Amino acid sequence: MTLIKSISGIRGTIGGKTGENLTPLDSVKFAAAYGAFLRQQQPDKRLKVVIGRDARISGEMIQHLVVSTLVGMGIDVVDLGLSTTPTVEIAVPLEKADGGIILTASHNPKQWNALKLLNAKGEFLNAAEGETILSLADKEDFSFANVDELGHVTVNDSYFDIHIDEVLDLSLVDRETIARAGFRVVVDGVNSTGGIAIPKLLKELGVQVIELYCEPNGHFPHNPEPLKEHLKDICDLVVKEKADLGIVVDPDVDRLAFISEDGEMFGEEYTLVACADYVLGKTPGNTVSNLSSTRALRDITEKHGGTYTAAAVGEVNVVAQMKATGAIIGGEGNGGIIYPESHYGRDALAGTALFLMLLAERQIKVSELRKSYPSYFMSKKKIELTPGIDVDAILKKMEGNYEKEETNNIDGLKVDFENSWVHMRKSNTEPIIRVYTEAPSQKEADVLAERIMKEIRTLSA
């Protein structure tokens, strides 16, 4: 059983001992810390917070605890009930709220849940803000409202429709174009809120939908991380139903993966590549992804005359870099699409619409679209080191070893070679170095990873 406190929120497993798991007491403490943080920012204002949750079994319990805690602090709550991460992100500014909380553990299994924290823009808190909340939680010095100043709860279950309307109103989305294509699509909603939102969006776009695991009951039928090894059922069903493609999302609907008509994975890394290809073809500009994402985005961006920039790993870092460079689309290689015309957050609904527009306009199969992009393969490894090893010193030595290559040390160390790259990052909690590589073939990626790992072990000996 686990409780993880980080600058992006608190997550853990349900049940067990207080302080070691995400128990009711821990949920209340961190909700109170968030409320105290908002009060510090605006001590004289009547505060408002938007709250939504994915369909996890523990979600309703955690939501009651969090809502009641904020009400007890004199904070008004807009309760969206079942929702998605991007839906809550959109709702915060529309409600003129001071923040938002999404109750979801993203792609973690069903025994996990989490409090993800947003600012008044509907964007994730930065590192300094996260540290402040952790400090407030440790102190447990909270002030609650008297009976006449308790917060009020407003239930609003219209935000799925509001979110879908917002996607349909995007300048590069035309429902008639998609409807004319006559798409037939299988959707795997992993029995969470994607099973509500994605089919609703597709039907509004005139797409024929075949639902798989779209009952939002929180009983995930497979590991909820949308990776190839977890998706045999939808891959088989796409072929059986002679569908044009399959769409897979994680429980909170900020990650997006596609299945080609032949039952093969389009590749999570290429979700952003395809959406960027469509957007850049209409509105040339810049892109951003994190250091561990595929080089194919850089290739596509430069093909369209734009500039690609890499950010440190983490959505908040990608968003900051997008704002700094004026990027018109960005995201992460895990299938996260950030499209600023909508909002600065990963959004599987926006990504789905952009992808379908690309397919509809080019009138090609998904497998053919995938073959049109530069083909890269990744290897993701980790090295466990002896406790006490100075990981920063090792990475510094590695940087010196590759001083003749293009390097980036904003987040660990990334070394770019002519046809490949390696990204080395240390864990914040364990004596581990993660080693990600990418190359034109799986064998080359694996060989590069093994070579780098051998060099690291030699330096740490």
Which residues are part of the catalytic machinery?
A: 106
Report the alpha-carbon angle 439-282-377, nearest 5.
10
Q: Cβ(234)–Cβ(198) under 8 Å?
A: no
Q: How far apart are CA 198 and CA 423, in angstroms?
A: 34
What long-range pairs does 11-14 form, CB within 8 A, spacing at least 24? 11/105, 11/108, 11/112, 11/113, 11/114, 11/115, 12/112, 12/113, 12/114, 13/111, 13/112, 14/58, 14/111, 14/112, 14/113
Say how far apart CA 271 and CA 312 lie, in whole Å: 19
- 363-387 burial: b if 16+ Cβ within 10 Å, else e: eeebeebbeebeebbbbeeebebee
Query: Do residues 452 and 422 touch, judged by C-beta distance below 8 A?
Result: yes
* Distance in angstroms (rounded) separating the CA atoms of residues 215 and 255: 18
DSSP H helices in 251-388 = 268-282, 296-303, 315-325, 348-362, 366-371
Alpha carbon distance 398, 392 (integer Å): 10
| Positive/negative CA dihedral, 431, 437, 442, 448 | negative
